Amino acid sequence: MAYGYSIELRARAMSFLDSGKSRKDVCEAFKISPKTLFNWIKLRKETGGLEIKERPKVRSTRKLTKDGLLAYLNEHPDHYLKEIGASFGVTAASVFSALRKFGITRKKNHPLQRARREQKAGILSRNLRARS
């Protein structure tokens, strides 16, 4: 059911219909679909008014929270996204999106890897000095 039309427009359309105009004329005059007019007629029969229904304000609870992800990653630092997603009941893509959203990186930074990066950087800088 359409929620966007004002109550005044609904009332004018219904009074136009009550004055003896056809449904087609009402739809053309107010630029509404026949289904919308039918829903308004049905609503008036059921409730006696044309008030706009409240939209449900239900929001799903978040399965992935920042605290939950951090706690899980501290316990299981080497798990793949698929394994993390399975434990939270979501997909690997959802885990990836949540990690990016929360700014959590999973880059490994072991001492051996740091030493190799520094060694490569030292070799590169020596090569650059030698070329100069």
Spatial separation of the C-alpha atoms in residues 40 and 32, rounded to whole Å: 11
Q: Which amino acid is at 33?
A: S
Give mean pLDDT, residues 111-115.
Answer: 72
Query: What digits encode the pLDDT tens for the residues 1-40?
Result: 446 788 899 999 999 999 999 999 999 999 999 999 999 9
Residue partners of 23: CB distance under 8 A and separation at least 6: 17, 34, 37, 38
Residue partners of 13: CB distance under 8 A and separation at least 6: 26, 29, 30, 32, 37, 40
* Alpha-carbon torsion, ordered 103, 104, 105, 111, to 10 deg: 130
- pLDDT higher than 50, residue 132: yes
pTM above 0.85, yes or no: no
Query: What digits encode the pLDDT tens for the residues 56-101?
Result: 777 666 888 899 999 999 898 888 999 999 999 999 999 999 999 9
Domain boundaries, the chain: 7-47, 66-102
Give Cα 86 distance to the centre of its chain: 21
What pLDDT score was predicted for residue 1?
Answer: 45
Eight-class DSSP state of 106: -
Which SS3 state, helix, strand or coil, does residue 46 take? helix
